[in-house]
Structures are given as C-alpha cells and as structure tokens.
Chain A
Amino acid sequence: MTAVDDRPTTEVGKDRRRKEDQRLITGRTRWTDNIQLPGMLHLAMVRSPFAHAKILSIGTDEAKAAPGVHAVFTGADLADSQGVNINAWPITPDQVTPTHLPVPSERVAHTGEIVAVVVARSAALARDAAELVDVDYEELPAVLDLKEAMKDEVLAHPDAGTNKSAFWQLDSKAAGTGGDVEEAIAKARQDGIVIEREYRQQRLVPAFMEPRSTVVDPTGEQVVIWSATQVPHILRFAIAATMGIPESKVRVIAPDVGGGFGGKLQTTPEEFATIAIARKLGKPCKYTETRSETMVSAHHGRDQWQKMTLAAEKDGTVTALKVDLLADLGAYVAIVGGGVPVLGAWMFNSIYKFPAYQFNCQTVLTNKTWVDAYRGAGRPEATYAIERIMDELAAEVGVDPIAIREKNWITHDEFPFTTVAGMTYDSGNYEAATAKALELFGYDELRAEQKRRRESGDTVQLGLGVSTFTEMCGLAPSRVLGSLSYGAGGWESASIRMLATGTVEVVSGATPHGQGHETAWSQIVADRLGIPFENVEVLHGDTQIAPKGLDTYGSRSLVVGGEALVRAADKVIEKAKPIAAHLLEASVDDLEFEAGQFTVKGTDKGIGITDIALATFAAHNLPDGVEPSIDADATFDPVDFSFPHGTHLCAMEVDTETGQSTMRKYVCVDDIGTIINPLIVEGQIHGGLVQGIAQALWEGAEYDEQGTLVSGSFVDYTLPTAADTINYVSEHTVSPSTTNTLGTKGVGEAGTIASTPAVVNAIVDALRPMGIDDIQMPCTPERVWKAIRTAGAQQDKAPTADAQAHFGEGAPNQDPAAGTTDGAAQ
C-alpha cells in the first residue's frame, strides 16, 4: 500500500502550458453558436436606427409571410413574459433607474435597441425577413452629451423628469478617515499649491473575440440556456427573479466563452428575448449577434468627466484630493452600471498619503448605449486621473515625476496601511517595484536622451511616462457589498471529488472565459493533495455541474475562488485522515500528510490519498460511523480585498511634424503577490497592457449629433492588433497578500489599469516644454499636432505664475469642443 513518492511537490509557480489552449487556440471547441438542437429556430433582431423615438406602429405582416418565418414578436407580444434587465447595484436608495425591458413596445432610448424579433428556420431567413418589418417611429429629441444631459433640458427618459440618476459621496471628514478637504484646499490656496484639472475618460467598446450568442432549449423539464456569458450563475438568478420561472427549473451553461473583458457580465436583452420566445414557441431557439450589433447593443465602458482638485504644500507634500465625477450611464442603469464609477472612490487616493479626501460621483442618463464594467471597472479611471495629476504636481514643484511619488507614497514599513478612503492595504513595496522598474527601463539614460533631443530641437521628441498604481481585487467581502446595497454577496465556491480510480474532479464556481482557470486550479490542487497535475480535471460553467458560484469579473477568481479551493482540499484531507488511520491501524494523532501520502510518524508505514479514495468508494472497511465519502466543498467569503500594485514606465516618441506618437519602450514591475502560473500572468499582463495602451492612443466610441455610433465597426473603431504593439518588459516583485492563504492578489486587470496614464504621461512629458499639459484621449496624431500648433502660436506669451487654472463655477477648464472627435457635442 505504500509507495515512494518522488514527484516534484510544487506545481505552484511553474509555467505550465494551459490545459485549455489546444481546444481554444485551434477553435476545436463548442462555442455557443456551434450548438445545434433538433428543430431549432433562429432569431434576428430588428433594432432602432434612432437614439430616441416613440414607436407608433410595427407592421409585421410582410415579415410573417416571408419564406421560412415562424413568427415575429414585438414588445407588445412579449409583454410580461420577457422579464426585465436588472440593476443589481442601486448606488443610492433614490437612484433614478428607468425600467429596461428587453424589447420595449412604446419608446426606444438608444440606437440599436430591439423593437421586434423575427424567428425563422435559418439565421439567413430570419435576417432577410427582419428587413421586411415595418416600424413607424416618431423621433424624439435625444440627449447625447454628458454635460448637456446635466442641464436636464432634453431628457433621455421624459417620464423620469431628470437625467440625473444618482449622486454618491465619500468624504474623509464625515467618514472619520481623514481631514476636511475644503479646509485643506483653502489653506493650500493661501500658502501652497492647488492644481485643478479636468480629464476625460472616453467611451470604449469591450471588443471580446466571440460575439454574444444564446441557445435556449425549453422542451425538457428544465429550461436549458447556453450563453456566451461571464456570469452563468447570475444569469440564472436574474431569469428566476424576473421571468417567473422557478430557479430550480433553470439550467444555465456557459460553454467555452471567447473573452469578455466585463462586456459579458451583463444579463442582456438578447438573452431574455431568446428565452421568452423559445418558451412561447416551445421550440429551441438560437440568437447570435453580428459584430455590428455588438458595437451598438453590448454595453460600453468608461465615459466620464473627472474634475480633480489636488492640494499640496510648496514642497510637493500632498494635503488633499477632491474628485468630482460625471459618469455617463447611457440609456439604462446596467447590472452594475452605477457602481462602476463608484468603485473609483477607494482608488483615486491610490498609493499616496492624502490627509483629506472627498469623492463625488454623479451618474447621468443619456440616449446612448448603456455603460457598465470594462476591464478594470472604476480603477483605470481613478488611476488615470491621479497619475496624470501627480505628474502635473511634479511639474509645478519642478521635480522629477518619480520624486514626487516617493515623497508621497506609503512606504513598505507602513503596511498594513489604512487609507484616507478607509481601505486597509494589506501588503506592498512601492520602493522595490519602482527601483526594479527604473533599472530595467534605463531611466537615467532615457532622460539624458530626452535632454539631447530637446536641445537639438529634434522633430522627434522623447517623453517618459510613469504610473505607480494600486488597485483593489478579489471582489468582494459580502459584508462590504451589503453596506453598499449591492444585490449579491462576494463569496466563491469550489468542490473536490476524489474519484475511485485516482483522478480528481474539481468544480469551480468561478467561470472562466479565457483566463486559464483549468490550469491554475489544477496546479493548486496538485500541490495541496499531492497528485499529478494531469490527474486533475476542472469543471465549470454549468449550473447543473457547478451549482454555486458568483462567476468571473473584478480579478476575483483566483483570490476568492482559489482560496475556496484550498479550503475544500484541506477538508478532503481531514475527511481522509480517520480512514487512513483505520487502514494503517494507527491513531489519527500519529498521522502526517505530505505529498499525497498519509504516514505514521516515525515509521515507514503509509497510504496514498488516492488509495483512500478507492477504499472509500469500495466502503468495505471503513471505521464505524464514517460516511463513505472524502469529497468536500467549500465556500469562501473574503474578509478584505487584495491590493496589487506596480510601477509602469513608458517611453514615447512624438513626431512633432505629424503628431504621431510611437511607443519606444515599456517596462512594468507588478506586485501581484504569489504567482501560481507565470505564463498565464504574462499573458494577462500583456493583453491588459494593450487594452490600456489602446485607450490612450487608439480606441474611442464616437457618436454623431443624431446619436448614431460613428465608430460602429472595426474600420472606424481602431482596435489595435499585434502589429501595433512592441515587446513589453514585464517583471515582478512579490509581497504576498495577507487576505488569502495562497498570498495571491489578482492580475486580470492590472495591465489595463496601469498602462493608460503611463502612455499619456509620456506624451505630455515629451511636449511639456512647449507649454502643453494635457492631450485628451485617445491621443490621436491630430490632437497632438493641434496641441503643438496652438502652443506654438502662444509661445511668445511668457508662462505666468498663475498658470494653475482654477475651476469657475460649473465651468470645465477644458472645453469638450476643443477635442476634435469627442462625443456628440460637435
């Protein structure tokens, strides 16, 4: 029964190739759209071409008579059977939350909203017939621009009486976590420095690779729903809560899902409509969107104006930070739409020791596509604004951007550190990450080159950008969520099944959509139970297989779900122990467990845990009163968040003749705690960087004054490809998290959160001698060139001492119309 175990015991930290890659990379898996069911019908959506309109009539006769058409449904036909899109996080009790029907029957509030659904024998026939649906609209005035919406002159939803959805505040004095912001700012106006800036977070489209798709089979006892979603468990809950189907009659399956970036954490009108129609017809139905539909109907990300007021002493020691956010929700409050900007509340103060802090967030409704989480969700916005304005402070004080950060950051010996926003950062070492990054970057040499280029008047100027960021991961302690009126908890679940033949099934409540859970979970279990990596099978994504879970978003899976897994594994060992003792004829107290083996201390007697699994399966010889199972599950609710951090450095070359900015070098040193799989981490960092860099340079969802999404395809929504990227240098420091036993912190969003300000800081750094202190994102060549040209025209005017602009009452110090392509204002 004993065996010598000479296998390596540490899977954690090994750069395992991903188990899921072969099927995902070659496409040899079954995506939702590949699912074919007998007698299945196909749906095509008829969508509003108007941003805001009354639906006067919908003529469906011609479409119904078209070849192969089974039925045509309008909002009136679906009525109460269609459920409702939910908002799970009302940020205030009096939040204005317009009812969001999947298929409205009276009025559409944004371009792309569904007004009718055609059901036919094939997707092609459905699409043909959709063209024949005759909708008569009466156009209503649409409000598109965020600041215009604040005036309440044109209403996105006339019945609501206002466009203002909710106002949310965090004030350090009121919360008892810090001083009085207004007092500190007033003092700085007397004898210190006050910097006021307004930054723009443009609207972005989460461009996941696999378009959204839903298949519904209503023919069995349960309704079975396959969907390309990040959140099968939340979808199941939403269906039960709003469609009148008992939760026990709903089975949701997220098969392999091709990316999400937050864009698939929504419960969508398309899902509800497909379920409602399949149930009405009693036949399986499929709906798969086109990319053009994704662009207008899947939720967008970001879209904020950020007014920042930073107060400091003359030497650059920060004394207060005040943030006034305007956040565009689009036409409806999405599932966590109102909450995303609020997540910034705990992040604007970042790694700095502000004695006083105030965060104000006003969410606003407009007649544009709804807005919700996009990779980073609230933290990229916060990180961008604070890292941009810290550079402005450095410029004001006349020191290097690194120096101003060193002066104000939390030092490594001050952890755990409770911030002015009330968060307790568990661990970190900003000095170490920064020192490593500076060395890898060759910071001093690049500064010398910058100086040479400036002196020689080179047409290509060099700029260096710094971003020392932190973020909060591991959403989330349920008690914290409860205090914020969030509609669910933040726990995660895992189960381990010890199979008789020696392999192990792991059930993960956290559902991946490309991250590599199967590989990382296998590594953790292999170490914990001392069994080969290859013998672990990770199951997920089907509410029948993984009945409990809260899914994947907010860099939570490993930090919360990984800890649940560890606890389940420990329970397996505990359950196996009395059986091992019984079989070894030893006392439980004399046993120790290591590398998959129970051994009797001081002897060579032992038994493997897989042997115990077999003995338990047979159940021929178990101790009295012990149940024949060593399977276990665990649900982990974190006590606190984890706080990854890092230092990102970027060098940009700016062609002053054309305004084109080209990346020269990018170095990041991230502290994400203990690393389970370095290869997966590298992939997350690189992909995250590209998405963050893309916000700085390329991407932007732009509407015209009619409310049509001008950047409605990849011709105009300039998504980068590998051809637009450089080789990134990615390294780590390791300060293990203390909020989970694995010591992990989360890495899914770090690259996106950190990189955007690093890039823009670098571009501004290149141009600062010309008197330029901001370029609105995306930093298009045209914007850069215009900034240079405008600055050149003003070059004769000497910079004045009162160059620190002050906000006039209600007036931005940056005219939105000055940007050439931003939003509907033009």
Chain B
Amino acid sequence: MIPASFDYLAPTSVDEALAALAEHGDDAKVLAGGQSLLPILRMRLNAPETVVDLGRIEALRGIRDGGDHIAIGSMTAYSDIVASDLVREHAALLVKAVETVADPQIRHRGTVGGAIVHADPAGDVGAPILALDATMVIAGSGGERTVPATEFFRDLFETAVEDGELLTEIRIPKHTGWGAAYEKFVRVAHQWSIVAVAATVRVEGGSIAEAKVGLTNMGNTPLRASAVEQALVGSSADALADACGAAAEGTNPPSDLNGDADYRRHLATVLTRRAVQKAMEG
C-alpha cells in the first residue's frame, strides 16, 4: 500500500498552516492524526499534491477549563480525552464515546478534531458533540468564527469548515453532574459503529429533568433525537420504552453488510432506551 507521492508541509502555528492552505488550495489535504487520511492515501482513493500536517502545532493540543465550558484543542488525541478528569467531570458523554473508538493504538494517534472534520457518520465523536451542544471554533484567513454543532455537520464527509479553514477548538458547555452513556453496537470490537446512541441526562428526584440524545450512523450526519429528548422529560428509569420508541423518527440510516435500514432503526430504539437507562444510573 503505497500512496502517490505528495509534498509534505509541517507548519508549527495555525497562521502558518492557514497560509499553506491558502497557497495550495484544493490540492492540499490536512493531516491530523492520520487514522482516516493515511488509509485513504495508501489505497489511492485520494491523491493530494500537498499534505499539511498539523501535528507540530502545539497550540492545537490540550484541554482547558473555559469557565462555563471545556475547551478542547482540535489536535487533542482520543487517549488524552479518556485520561482527562476535566472532561470526565464536565462532559462525561464525550469520554464514554471516545473510550469505544477502535483500539488503544488508534486512540493514541487519532484526534478529536480530525474525526469531527472528516465527518464519517459512523464515527463516534459527532453524536456526543452534537448532544452536548458544543461550539466549534474555525480559523480562516479572515480570522476566527464559531459554529454551533447543530449547524456544523452538513452531509456525508462535509462540515462547515470551508476550503482554507481549520477547526481549532471544540467548546463544550459544562454538563456537570449529568449522567452519560454511549451504547455502541458492533459485531467485532474494532469495527465502526453499526449504530450507536449517545445519551446524557440530568436527573432530579429519580426522574429525568433534561435529556440529550445523539445518534451515530443513522443518516449522512450525526443526528439529535429531539423528539426522544422531549418525551423523556419527567420519565423514571422503569418507563423509558415509550419515550425511546421515537428514536429512529426522521432518520435515514444506511443499508450495508452489517444490517439494513430497518434493522438500524430498530437498533436505535433499543440502544436509546439502554443508553438512557445507563445514563440515569450514572
């Protein structure tokens, strides 16, 4: 597996990276952790003339407390998220989802920002980001702009990040004290999600005060199960099935070797109930 030859740039600042992208335009591809781009290059599904590696931009790495939110640099590795007490305390859902990604080697190399911008609907980061109402910080030649996660994912492998722009940070409003669970359904451990459900809930007096539910691989983008979220308010742990029955409403899941759309819709309802149940338990 040998990729076609390409020029390699390794800028050390965001400005340098943006300048490189401006110069090479369409012919350039951004390399983050490389867990999707490298296989694509090696299988010659894409042959960019220039690869811009963000790996040496320290400013894009790391997790900080932003007061009412947690700010995660786009080049932060999955394994750093899993190891972060800050994220675990204030955005537990993201940790639960990231823990299920592939295997330890991949979690060590793969980055949150890389996964979000690649926007594979079977990836495990989109649904929790969406459910947690995150804000994405995008840098371009004209400066910085922010986009809410709800407007970020546009289509299959397509996001609000335009040519010449970079995702620099993900800001997640603190969900301190919320229970969280990520129910991922796969046939073998290292597989992409067939379907997964990200659920986080705030429980008051044994019933749900607020619920947020994101769906993985139930359409061309990660989805929010808004109808379920509303229906869950006021529910107790033993009466979730009805509210979760609507989980697949408005979805358009794919059909492939792992299951057809019908089966995925069914899985979404079962997994939503299980995710919410687990989230309520902590």
A residues near B (Cβ < 8 Å) are 123-124, 127-128, 131, 290-292, 657-658, 660, 697-698, 700, 702, 710-711, 713, 715-716, 718-721, 723-724, 780-782, 785-786, 820-821
Contact = CB atoms under 8 A, between A and B. Distances in A.
Contacts of B187: 697-698, 718, 780-781
B274 to A, nearest CB: 9
B191 A718 contact: yes
B178 interface: no
Interface string B1-43: 1101100000000000000000000000000000000000001
Contacts of A697: 187
B257 A710 contact: yes
B185 A723 contact: no
Contact of A820 (B5, B43, B185, B260): B260
Contacts of A713: 43
B222 to A, nearest CB: 19
A715 to B, nearest CB: 7
B1 to A, nearest CB: 5
Contacts of B185: 658, 660, 781
Given A290-B1, A785-B266, A720 B260 contact: no
Query: In the complex, which of the residues A290, A700, A781 has the most CB atoms of chain B within 10 Å of its own CB atom?
Result: A781
Contact of A657 (B43, B259, B260, B270): B270
B189 interface: yes
B191 A785 contact: no
Interface string B213-247: 00000000000000000000000000000000000
Interface string B246-277: 00000000001111100100110011000000
B103 A723 contact: yes
Interface string B29-60: 00000000000000110000000000000000
B266 A718 contact: no
B44 to A, nearest CB: 7
B192 interface: yes
Given A124-B2, A723-B189, A780-B187, 14 more contacts: A290-B1, A660-B185, A697-B187, A698-B188, A713-B43, A719-B188, A720-B188, A721-B188, A723-B190, A781-B187, A781-B259, A782-B263, A786-B263, A821-B257
A704 to B, nearest CB: 10
Interface size class of B (residues with CB under 8 A): 20 to 34
Interface of B: 1-2, 4-5, 43-44, 103, 185, 187-192, 256-260, 263, 266-267, 270-271
Nearest to A659: B263
B193 to A, nearest CB: 12
Contact of B188 (A131, A702, A718, A786): A718
B2 A724 contact: no
| Leading 7 A-B pairs by shortest Cβ distance | A723-B189, A782-B259, A124-B2, A782-B263, A718-B188, A290-B1, A127-B2
A710 B256 CA distance: 10
B189 A721 contact: yes
Contacts of B5: 124, 128
A725 to B, nearest CB: 10
B189 A716 contact: no
Nearest to B183: A658
A130 to B, nearest CB: 10
B257 A724 contact: no
A710 B255 CA distance: 13
Contacts of A657: 270
Nearest to B189: A723
Contacts of A710: 257
A658 B267 contact: yes
A658 B4 CA distance: 43
Contacts of B256: 716
A292 B1 contact: yes
A707 B144 CA distance: 48
A782 B189 contact: no
A123 B1 CA distance: 10
Contacts of B263: 782, 785-786
Contacts of A719: 188
A292 B260 contact: no
A248 B192 CA distance: 52
27 contacts: A124-B2, A124-B5, A128-B4, A128-B5, A131-B44, A292-B43, A658-B185, A658-B270, A658-B271, A660-B185, A700-B257, A711-B257, A715-B191, A715-B192, A716-B256, A716-B257, A721-B103, A721-B189, A721-B190, A723-B189, A724-B189, A780-B187, A781-B185, A781-B187, A782-B258, A785-B263, A786-B263
A131 to B, nearest CB: 7
A292 B44 CA distance: 11
B202 to A, nearest CB: 27
Given A124-B2, A124-B5, A724 B266 contact: no
A780 B258 contact: yes
A127 B5 CA distance: 11
Contacts of A127: 2
A697 B44 CA distance: 31
Contacts of B103: 721, 723
Nearest to A714: B190
Nearest to A291: B1
Nearest to A699: B188
Contacts of A698: 187-188
Contacts of B2: 123-124, 127
Contacts of A716: 256-257
Contacts of B43: 292, 713
Contacts of A723: 103, 188-190
Nearest to B271: A658
Contacts of A700: 257
Nearest to A821: B257
A723 B100 CA distance: 12
